[in-house]
Amino acid sequence: MINVIIIDDEPLARSIVKEYLMAYPDMQVVQECGDGFEGVKAIAARQPDLIFLDIQMPKINGFEMLELVENQPSVIFTTAFDEYAMQAFETNAIDYLLKPFNQDRFDKAILKWKSRITKNEGLAPAFSESLRQPEERNRVVVKVGNAIKILPVHDIHYIEAYDDYVKIHTQDGYHLKKKTMNFFEKALDNNQFVRVHRSYIISLAQLTKIEMKEKESYVAKMKDGSVIPMSKTGYSRLKEVLGL
């Protein structure tokens, strides 16, 4: 059996997907979710093979939800907004169904998925991360234990590389997120956040002082007392943004 989860905040939008799925006796809807929070939990609990995902949903949108999922299943987006198509395919989505869609279009999406699974390309990222241009964002979603937290970017003090993860430092300690430094460097506003080191991105709002440690070697002092090392290029980047 192929397990499917439908995540959409409109009940009728979920029911049409269910109806179209009736043509596929080998697929079963194991759960329906009305928002991204439920979606994250359901995906973790059920490990579905395929999800149908709306984009505009309460609290966190479909893209943000995917960021919180550990083992990402195959995704088919269903939305009335055509402006997200590019972004959707960058998440390695199978297909992008524009509401309203009919059974034929739906069948094509399923076919696409099936051929991808048999060719086993489903898990390879379609775009390398460096090619991606994530939209500039004003918030970041993180997991805190089992809960999900939405961090406004102005709450971020600095970001530190940590193996495959990054540590997002805030007033209440740090949050881990499985993303790269490059991702954050691109996603955050370059006038507010500067990558001062291969392993550090700092918030200018939290910067209090630049100090010279040794000759040609500088550190950034933050409001919360932490001292961040800076590389040579990082230091000149910072100077440029500050207009020094």
**Sequence-ordered alpha helix ranges (H) in 91-188:** 103-119, 181-187
Is residue 139 within the footprint of other proteins (CB under 8 A)? yes
CA 208 to chain centre: 30
Beta carbon of residue 12, minimum distance to other proteins (angstroms, whole number): 4
Q: Contacts with other proteins in 33-72 (CB under 8 A)?
A: 34-35, 37, 56-59
Distance, in Å, from the CA atom of 165 to the CA atom of 177, rounded to the nearest integer, reads 5
**Sequence-ordered alpha helix ranges (H) in the chain:** 11-21, 36-46, 62-68, 85-90, 103-119, 181-187, 232-242
Closest to other proteins by CB, 80 vs 212, is: 80
Task: Work out which of 23, 45, 150, 242 binds other proteins, going by CB under 8 A.
Answer: 150
Q: Scanning the structure block, which residue is given the tokens 């994530």?
A: 134
Segment near other proteins (CB under 8 A), from 14-22, 62-70, 109-117, 212-220? 14-22
Is residue 19 within the footprint of other proteins (CB under 8 A)? yes
3-state DSSP of 68-91 = HCCCCCEEEEEECCHHHHHHHHHC
Closest to other proteins by CB, 11 vs 225, is: 11
What is the Cβ-side half-sphere exposure of residue 33, based on CA atoms within 13 angstroms? 29
Token pair for 103:
């059974």
Is residue 171 within the footprint of other proteins (CB under 8 A)? no
Closest to other proteins by CB, 92 vs 203, is: 203
Segment near other proteins (CB under 8 A), from 4-12, 164-172, 193-201, 208-216? 4-12
Distance, in Å, from the CA atom of 69 to the CA atom of 118, rounded to the nearest integer, reads 23
Q: Contacts with other proteins in 86-115 (CB under 8 A)?
A: 98-102
Bridge partners of 53? Answer: 7, 77
Closest to other proteins by CB, 80 vs 111, is: 80
Beta carbon of residue 148, minimum distance to other proteins (angstroms, whole number): 11
Task: Work out which of 10, 49, 90, 185 binds other proteins, going by CB under 8 A.
Answer: 10
What does the binding site for other proteins look like in residue numbers (CB under 8 A)? 9-13, 15-16, 19, 34-35, 37, 56-59, 80-81, 98-102, 139, 150, 152
